[in-house]
Structure 1
């Protein structure tokens, strides 16, 4: 089942139509030590949009604000045709305690700053970026709803938060008639599948479209890493800076390199690149709306878009599902056991459809 950027998907319980791959723009700007300068960023933006892509992902503090500012320039002529998603909660001014967090003051100030930087009157999709464990959920939801009513944001979403808090928020929003959350952005890829325990099933039940970031595990699934990278000290070049960053985050491990090896094997069978295989696995996932792809050069983005054309055999898909599989743990494993099926349902057979 191949895809195209202009074969759109609905985002969660909304009627908003988005491309099956979102263009991540955390690489727009070089302030973080890697990324794309303006002209290269413009080429990637144009390539994505010319292919029919409409879903652009950024955040208020990506590349210290350069990402939003560049998008404000690039979207000047086609703003209405695009779905612009940005985020709030990360500190905009270190040392100012209210310039970050999920609270109302941070929310409203961040949105106003993003509107200026994006050179737009409204934000299509606003994510709470990182859960802060301090702000009451009613304060967050009411603030988001006020911004929707003002027309400054059209849809609300959330990222990097516990499943029980997200489901609680969605329930409160429904009961009080406030704007619901329509999307959940989480780290999800063949190497990081913790979202399968609670976050993804919760999103399915509560009507949130799943938008995975880091779909290639920070690049480790591209096949560019080896066992030497487990202990190597990298020089300060653009590429090795990212390698050092991944090593510091603990994303280069024996387990992930084993998964990357399996991805390479299937890529060779399909005459595709490992990056295309890793992204295609997400594209074929029934609970995923749109992975966020982030490239540093047009050639890399072109390769990523090739994932839209990848088809797996049933055997290849089963191998990918198995190699990165995780233990679901209690209560999921217990509830899925044959014993529980017998004592709760006996011989009962029910056909389930999604």
Structure 2
């Protein structure tokens, strides 16, 4: 794999991030420790170095598995990202949320499970609508100054909150968010309304979760006896079926799998993007790695964009309409000038 910089930093990460939510079976699904080790080995052997986890994945077991694995590896080779916010125990009222107390407690617990002295990238997992953003940024900056965290990032948070946070951090000389993790795929393009333009403005790398739409974009739900997708499902509905069929058509034309097309689309959108791709089997990882041998043509991108297009709402659509009007006026004035 090639490497790219994560946001406005000098940190080099591989082209896609390995999602580890499925490492462990405490939630009734996932990969056992031996299989998880094998997946991380295959990822590293392919040049991958970016691991994504969280304090709550598989009730903490995911971090424990990664910690045991890293003890057998060169820790500095890997860029380890984890998260805090969601409740990981019932000990006290502050065992969840974005507040400083939970942040500090969660980081200490993650460091123990991961068996490491530092976390490379710490994400705020989800905005709680309670904690002031300056409390969050100051806490993250303190952890970075202490050497327990190297970089700050944020996930599943409104664009205006992230923008306020990075502006405040720049003013105060605190560490800024360098990455933004949100759901983004051909069947979930709403981040294009506010979140992605904001990330581009601040030079943040977008790290999409569910870039395959929870498996919908692989086409597996359209094959065999499973028939058509249920209309009431959030990701499995008539619209996602229509989009997936276009993905599958292009995949057939190129002689690749549908997942390759869907993954590469996220990486060819004109902004810094490092998709998070999970795996609970070696075969899944090996198939996803092939996506990076693919380059979609302008014609393929146009077909995918048209099939998955969403209304931007106000003011996005208004800006588009205004641009059309201004171009029309500009053309008119050009003609007037030429005649005169």
| 1:9–1:289 contact (8 Å) kept in structure 2 | no
* Match 2:143 to one of 113, 131, 147: 147
TM-score where L is the length of structure 2: 0.92
Do structure 1's residue 214 and structure 2's residue 200 form an aligned pair?
Answer: no
Q: Distance between the aligned counterparts of 1:91 and 1:22, measured in 2?
A: 24
Deviations 1:123-176 (A, max 9, x none): 000000000000011110110010000000000000000001100000000001
Structure of greater relative contact order (alpha carbons < 8 Å, 6+ residues apart): 1
CA 1:345–1:328 in 2, change beyond 3 Å: closer, same or farther? farther
Match of 1:339 in 2: 325
The alpha carbon displacement at 1:251 in A equals: 1.5
Do structure 1's residue 12 and structure 2's residue 12 form an aligned pair?
Answer: no
Match of 2:67 in 1: 72
1:1-354 to structure 2, matched below 5 A, reads: 5=1, 7-76=2-71, 77-94=73-90, 96-226=92-222, 228=227, 230-231=229-230, 250-337=234-321, 338-341=324-327
Q: Distance between the aligned counterparts of 1:267 and 1:186, measured in 2?
A: 25
Query: What residue ranges of structure 1 are gaps of 5+ in the alignment?
Result: 233-246, 349-354
The alpha carbon displacement at 1:230 in A equals: 3.9
Deviations 1:37-61 (A, max 9, x none): 1111111100000111111100001
Question: Helix, strand or coil: the match of 1:86?
Answer: strand
Query: What residue ranges of structure 2 are gaps of 5+ in the alignment?
Result: 335-340
Match of 2:337 in 1: none
The alpha carbon displacement at 1:262 in A equals: 0.9
Q: Distance between the aligned counterparts of 2:320 and 2:230, measured in 1?
A: 40
The alpha carbon displacement at 1:229 in A equals: 6.0
Structure showing greater Rg: 2
The alpha carbon displacement at 1:289 in A equals: 2.5
Match of 1:351 in 2: none
Question: Helix, strand or coil: the match of 2:198?
Answer: helix
The alpha carbon displacement at 1:231 in A equals: 4.5
CA 1:90–1:333 in 2, change beyond 3 Å: closer, same or farther? same
TM-score where L is the length of structure 1: 0.89
Question: Helix, strand or coil: the match of 1:336?
Answer: helix
| 1:334–1:340 contact (8 Å) kept in structure 2 | no
Q: Distance between the aligned counterparts of 1:214 and 1:222, measured in 2?
A: 12
The alpha carbon displacement at 1:84 in A equals: 0.2
Match of 1:237 in 2: none
Match of 1:239 in 2: none
